Amino acid sequence: MRLKKKYIRIIMCAAIVIVVTVAGFVLASLIPDPPVEQVNAARIALSEAVSNDAHTYSKNLYNEAKSLYDSAMTSWQKENLRFIWFRDYSRAAEFAGMSEQKARQAARISRNNMTDLNILLGQKLEKLNHIAGQIDLRFDGYPLSSEVWSRISKGRMLLRESELAYRKGDFAQAKEKVDSSEFLLVDSYEKAIDHLEGYFASFPKWKQWVDRTIRESRQHQSYAVIIDKYSRKCIVYLGGIKKYEYNVELGKNWVGDKREKGDKATPEGMYRVVRKFGIGRTKYHKALLIDYPNETDKVEFRKAVADGTLPATARIGSLIEIHGDGGKGYDWTEGCIALTNEEMDVVYRIAREGMPVTIVGSTVSLDKLDE
């Protein structure tokens, strides 16, 4: 009997153990699992997005993904504060899943945007380098305002900086620089072109003067000089045929006609040599004085004073020469035309009093300059 009771106690203890164990397993199975896998997946996706520069090239999506990840972590932490069997991680898992989805989308879009931006930047850099080249070609030595030249200089600097950033693969920095450069260079180039087109509106008049000068040279089988200010050329004709061509330097403000004394502009018109000054009679090696101002210049000057475009105190200029001491490489005269001493020797030798000297803005039309 005693043995039987012992066995019953053993069986009961075993049963209790089994029940407790089973109950423990059941209760454990009811504990909600935290969203470890979902959060890890979101973290990996965010890391991949960063490696694809999504925080720069798909910023909004990346920020959404990061915000959703933060929401997942906040929700997880909040549930951890609740009694273990009352926790609900479904919201945290949902946030993590949405974060992963947004992060992968941001990475994909960032890669696409980088490719598109790479192409766009390449095109813009090519365009701006072309514009910079056109500025060099058309406006080297052209007296634009100091403000325009300052903007061009700054635009060039930004263009160089954008190229460096582009080569390093920093497309965001390159875009910022290239956009600023584009604003400065394109705007300055358009202003310069407008100025140039306004100046070349006088081309039909210049062409008439040049044609008349060459025709006179041909008819009298004599020498004549044409000064092309835009191309900085002194062209010597004999019998209507070009014989010599030299580079020249002009007044600092050579664009447009000379209007008054001290404006540092080289005049435009049909003139003639009135005096020759050899060595010792001029401080510029040798010189040919032309008959500026002629009657046309005087009429224009009086008209400008009368209509108020020149002040009443203005005085007409004079003493315009073709002279030596040139070859400096920039425009420096007070309005005269400078040649090197060797070239001046040639022009001085063939010149006679009365020889035509025609000064024009250009011998070539603006559309021909592009060819």
* pLDDT tens digits, one per residue of 111-154: 888 888 888 899 999 999 999 999 998 888 888 888 999 999 99
Mean pLDDT within 84-103: 86
Tell me what pLDDT residue 52 has: 83
CATH number at residue 78: 1.20.140
Q: Which residues pair with 357 in a beta bridge?
A: 225, 271
Does the pLDDT of residue 81 top 80, yes or no?
Answer: yes
Kind and range of the H or E run holding 243: strand 241-247
What does the alpha-carbon distance between residue 223 and residue 217 come to, in Å, rounded to a whole number? Answer: 6
194 plus 216 within the same structural domain? no
Does the pLDDT of residue 8 top 70, yes or no?
Answer: no
Confidence of residue 200 (pLDDT cuts 50, 70, 90): very high
Mean pLDDT within 161-171: 92
* pLDDT tens digits, one per residue of 205-255: 999 999 999 999 999 999 999 999 999 999 999 999 999 999 999 999 999
Both tokens assigned to 127? 């365009």
Domain end position, chosen among 54, 86, 112:
112
- The answer as to whether 187 is a domain residue is yes
Does the pLDDT of residue 25 top 60, yes or no?
Answer: no
62 plus 74 within the same structural domain? yes
**φ, ψ (nearest 5 deg) of residue 251:** -65, 155
Confidence of residue 27 (pLDDT cuts 50, 70, 90): very low
Lowest mean pLDDT among 6-15, 54-63, 130-139, 145-154: 6-15
- The answer as to whether 117 is a domain residue is no
What does the alpha-carbon distance between residue 238 and residue 240 come to, in Å, rounded to a whole number? Answer: 5
Structural domain including 141 reads: 128-200
Tell me what pLDDT residue 15 has: 58
Contact 359, 267 (CB under 8 A): yes
211 plus 357 within the same structural domain? yes
Mean pLDDT within 270-297: 95
- The answer as to whether 122 is a domain residue is no
3-state secondary structure (DSSP) of residue 101: helix
207 plus 187 within the same structural domain? no
Domain end position, chosen among 200, 233, 251:
200
Tell me what pLDDT residue 93 has: 87
Tell me what pLDDT residue 26 has: 44
Whole-number percent of the chain with pLDDT over 90: 63
Considering only residues 82 and 228, tell me which one the structure prediction assigns the higher pLDDT: 228
Tell me what pLDDT residue 107 has: 84
336 plus 212 within the same structural domain? yes
211 plus 340 within the same structural domain? yes
47 plus 193 within the same structural domain? no
Does the pLDDT of residue 170 top 80, yes or no?
Answer: yes
Q: Which residue do the tokens 């032309």 mark?
A: 290
Number of folded domains that form the chain? 3
3-state secondary structure (DSSP) of residue 283: coil
86 plus 133 within the same structural domain? no
184 plus 207 within the same structural domain? no
Tell me what pLDDT residue 16 has: 64
